């Protein structure tokens, strides 16, 4: 992908520590591309906040130059809801692993749907509990 599309304004310069071939690279590129398209429409970096859990997927927080927070395992959604309640003008993007979303955080996943908060959840599904430390 060429530099203009990769979203260098979002790049933190941190070395990527994901395994070669990991689909998290594709998710990162897609998020950067999507955000850059929103920036072209007038959105600013300060309009966004990100929340990630722990595990391999959570490293995405280190690779996006946006404000946000690491959350506890299984708790990115309630954290994202709290951020959204605190500042309804923020566009909140939560990143969870499949273990975060569908095991540890299943009750939060259900309640997020019930309350229908205006936020984005991206689930990194590697079909296993990996690096949850």
Angle of the 106-115 helix axis to the 76-86 helix axis, nearest 10: 30
Identify whether 87 is part of a domain.
yes
Q: What is the pLDDT of residue 131?
A: 61
Instruction: Please state the domain count of the chain.
Output: 1
Identify whether 106 is part of a domain.
yes
Confidence of residue 130 (pLDDT cuts 50, 70, 90): low
Range of the domain at 80: 47-127
Identify whether 38 is part of a domain.
no
Is the Cβ–Cβ distance between 58 and 70 less than 8 Å? yes
Identify whether 113 is part of a domain.
yes
Over residues 39-59, the pLDDT tens digits come to 999 999 999 999 998 888 899
Over residues 20-31, the pLDDT tens digits come to 888 999 999 999
Q: What is the pTM of this model?
A: 0.87
Over residues 93-109, the pLDDT tens digits come to 999 988 888 888 888 88
Question: How high is the mean pLDDT of the chain?
Answer: 88
Surface-to-core class of residue 124, CB atoms within 10 Å of its CB (0-12 exposed, 13-18 middle, 19+ buried): buried
Measured CA to CA, the distance from residue 35 to residue 30 in angstroms comes to 9
């Amino acid at each position: 992908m060429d530099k203009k599309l990769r979203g260098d304004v979002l790049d933190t310069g941190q070395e990527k520590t994901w395994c070669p071939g990991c689909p998290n690279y594709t998710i990162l590129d897609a998020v950067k591309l999507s955000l850059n398209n929103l920036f072209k429409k007038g959105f600013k970096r300060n309009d966004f906040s990100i929340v990630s859990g722990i595990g391999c997927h959570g490293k995405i927080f280190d690779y996006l130059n946006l404000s946000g927070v690491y959350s506890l395992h299984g708790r990115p959604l309630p954290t994202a809801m709290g951020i959204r309640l605190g500042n309804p003008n923020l566009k909140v993007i939560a990143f969870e692993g499949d273990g975060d979303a569908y095991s540890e955080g299943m009750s939060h996943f259900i309640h997020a749907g019930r309350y229908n908060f205006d936020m984005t959840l991206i689930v990194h599904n590697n079909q296993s509990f990996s690096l949850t430390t």
